[in-house]
């Protein structure tokens, strides 16, 4: 069963000189999650932030921090990000040899575990992991940079994962599993993604455009 649409603003599009204030502003504006894109310049072609920045931001918002690790190898950093304040930790199956072990590592820290699928990642990676996951993240762009255009073929992937999540959730007494979409989300693509089955939208540019006075309206527009 699909949940209410949640909005997870990506702070990759925030004003980095004012990150604490930006995180507080999106929380006050009605965001459901703070989405933190962690990039290492190796797994993806960009470098963003590490655990120290996450730890510094955590006190600025009382909503969950949704941390997307685009780093490889991923396992050596899971505990550090968990203890820095991540509430959800999402990783890529290509980022380590044993994705199930990575899920166990995240759960051992008491955090929710997510798996991220790049545009070319096959759905077969979910075959033996989905019952253990709390979130599946569909990348509707190739990861590494904000501001890219939504890849339309992601909609078919979202719809198929929605069917799989509903089946697993039903077998686990309705346990919620988020289906998140990240990349090129605007008012038009948000509507298409939700129709396909998404219930969490990662939105960077679409949330932060116009400055803090616009955040509430931007978030409400995406959710609607």
List the domains of the chain with CATH numbers.
Answer: 6-223 (3.20.20.70)
Rounded average pLDDT over 69-95: 98
For residue 224, the tally of other CB atoms under 10 A from its CB is 10
Tokens encoding 67: 């941390």
Per-residue confidence (pLDDT) for residue 200, from 0 to 100: 98
Per-residue confidence (pLDDT) for residue 1, from 0 to 100: 60
Percentage of the chain modeled with pLDDT above 70? 99
* Active-site residue identified among 32, 40, 134, 182: 182
Q: Tell me: pLDDT of 145 over 80.
A: no
pTM of the model: 0.96
Would you list which residues are annotated within the binding site? 10, 35, 37, 68, 144-147, 182-184, 204-205
Rounded average pLDDT over 188-197: 97
Rounded average pLDDT over 96-125: 97
CA 44 to chain centre: 16
* Active-site residue identified among 32, 37, 40, 134: 37
Q: Write the burial class of residue 149 (CB in 10 Å: 0-12 exposed, 13-18 middle, 19+ buried).
A: exposed
pLDDT tens digits for range 3-50: 789 999 999 999 999 999 999 999 999 999 999 999 999 999 999 999
Asked if 182 is an active-site residue, the reply is: yes
Asked if 178 is an active-site residue, the reply is: no
Rounded average pLDDT over 132-140: 98
Going across the sheet that includes 88-91, the strands are 6-9, 200-203, 178-182, 135-139, 112-117, 88-91, 65-70, 34-39
Per-residue confidence (pLDDT) for residue 144, from 0 to 100: 79
pLDDT band at 54 (very low <50, low <70, confident <90, very high): very high
Per-residue confidence (pLDDT) for residue 2, from 0 to 100: 64
Which stretches within 58-153 are classed as H helix?
75-84, 99-108
Would you list which residues are annotated within the binding site for substrate? 10, 68, 144-147, 182-184, 204-205
For 205, phi and psi rounded to 5 degrees? -55, -40
pLDDT tens digits for range 162-175: 999 999 999 999 99
């Amino acid at each position: 069963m699909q949940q209410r649409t949640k909005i997870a603003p990506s702070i990759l599009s925030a004003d980095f000189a004012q990150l604490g204030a930006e995180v507080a502003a999106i929380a006050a504006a009605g965001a459901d999650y703070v989405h933190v894109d962690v990039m290492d310049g190796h797994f993806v072609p960009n470098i963003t932030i590490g655990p120290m920045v996450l730890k510094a931001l955590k006190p600025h918002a009382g909503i969950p921090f949704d941390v997307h690790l685009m780093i490889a190898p991923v396992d050596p950093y899971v505990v550090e990000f968990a203890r820095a304040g991540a509430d959800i930790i999402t990783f890529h199956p290509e980022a380590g040899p044993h994705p199930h072990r990575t899920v166990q590592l995240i759960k051992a820290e008491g955090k929710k575990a997510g798996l991220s699928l790049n545009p070319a990642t096959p759905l077969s990676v979910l075959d033996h992991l989905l019952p253990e996951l709390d979130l599946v993240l569909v990348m509707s762009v190739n990861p590494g940079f904000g501001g890219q255009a939504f890849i339309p073929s992601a909609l078919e992937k979202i719809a198929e994962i929605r069917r799989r999540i509903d089946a697993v959730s039903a077998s686990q007494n309705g346990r919620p599993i988020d289906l998140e979409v990240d990349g090129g989300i605007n008012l038009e693509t948000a509507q298409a993604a939700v129709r396909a089955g998404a219930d969490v939208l990662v939105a960077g540019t679409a949330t932060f455009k116009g400055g803090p006075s616009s955040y509430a309206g931007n978030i409400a527009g995406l959710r609607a």
